[in-house]
Every structure is written in structure tokens, then in C-alpha cells.
Copies of this chain bind each other. A is one copy, B any other.
Amino acid sequence: MKVTMQRVNKAVHFIAYGSDGHSILMDGSEAIGGEGKGVRPMETVLMGLAGCSSIDMVMILDKMRQKLEDIRIEVVAERADEVPAVFTKIHVSFFLKGDLKEKKVAQAVDMAFQKYCSVSKMLEPTVEITSSYVINEVEES
């Protein structure tokens, strides 16, 4: 897997390219000279965690023959006060819609984080990662 990145301006605005040619815009926070022209690098890590765990959820629920109609994700993270400002805690919330059995969803979340999600597995040793889910807007756990 390979990505490339190029600076866009003299501050800290960059454009990064993935292997399929898709690009994303990145920028630093204002505190370090950024101008809000893209997502922040640490945000892309949270997006990666959201993406990989959600793709796993979609695949696992499909294998379980659960009818997932929609999925929305929120990821909230706390960072260390000092440099390096690593994440100390991350919470991933899944908001699911569909004809879903609560027990199956609970199993799918467990499997996603315990077995499949590569991003979670890499962060696990240094970050406390927790998760929860809401099915059809009724909070289940």
C-alpha cells in the first residue's frame, strides 16, 4: 500500500493521494499555522478507524443475514495535553437502521473490534478504545 502527498501552500496545507488516485485535503490547526483548508492529520486516523470498523460491521451483519438499511458513525477522541498529543481515549458510536437483532449487532461490534478492524488493532496498545451502538434510534448499550 502506498500514498503520496504534496504541499499545496507555504503553510501546512497538503494534498494526499491514495492508490486509486483519490485525494484528500489536509491542513494543520490554526495554532500551528494551518488555515482550515482540509482535514487534520489526526482526524484522518479517526476516519480510518470509523471506516474500517464500519466496513467490518457491514460485512459481518451481511454474513449474519441481518438487514442493515443504513449506518452512521460518530467517533470522539481525547488527546494528551502534552507533545506528542496522542489519543488517550477513543469512543466509536454506531447508529444503525434496519431489521436487526440486538444480539447480532452486539456480536458484530465485538467481532469488528476484537478480530477484524486493522486500525483498531494497531491503536489498541496505546489508546483506550470503546464502542456503543444505537439501533433504530433506541439506545441498546
Contact = CB atoms under 8 A, between A and B. Distances in A.
Interface residues of A, number: 70
A65 to B, nearest CB: 15
A22 B40 CA distance: 9
A90 B86 CA distance: 18
**Copies in the assembly, this chain:** 2
Contacts of A51: 5, 14, 16, 26, 40-41, 44
Given A4-B74, A115-B84, A41 B55 contact: yes
A134 B110 CA distance: 44
Contact of A5 (B28, B45, B54): B54
Given A7-B72, A72-B5, A118 B55 contact: no
Contacts of A73: 4-6
Contacts of A115: 83-84
Contact of A79 (B1, B40, B44, B48): B1
Contacts of A32: 55, 59
Contacts of A23: 39
5 contacts: A3-B47, A3-B75, A14-B54, A18-B40, A32-B55
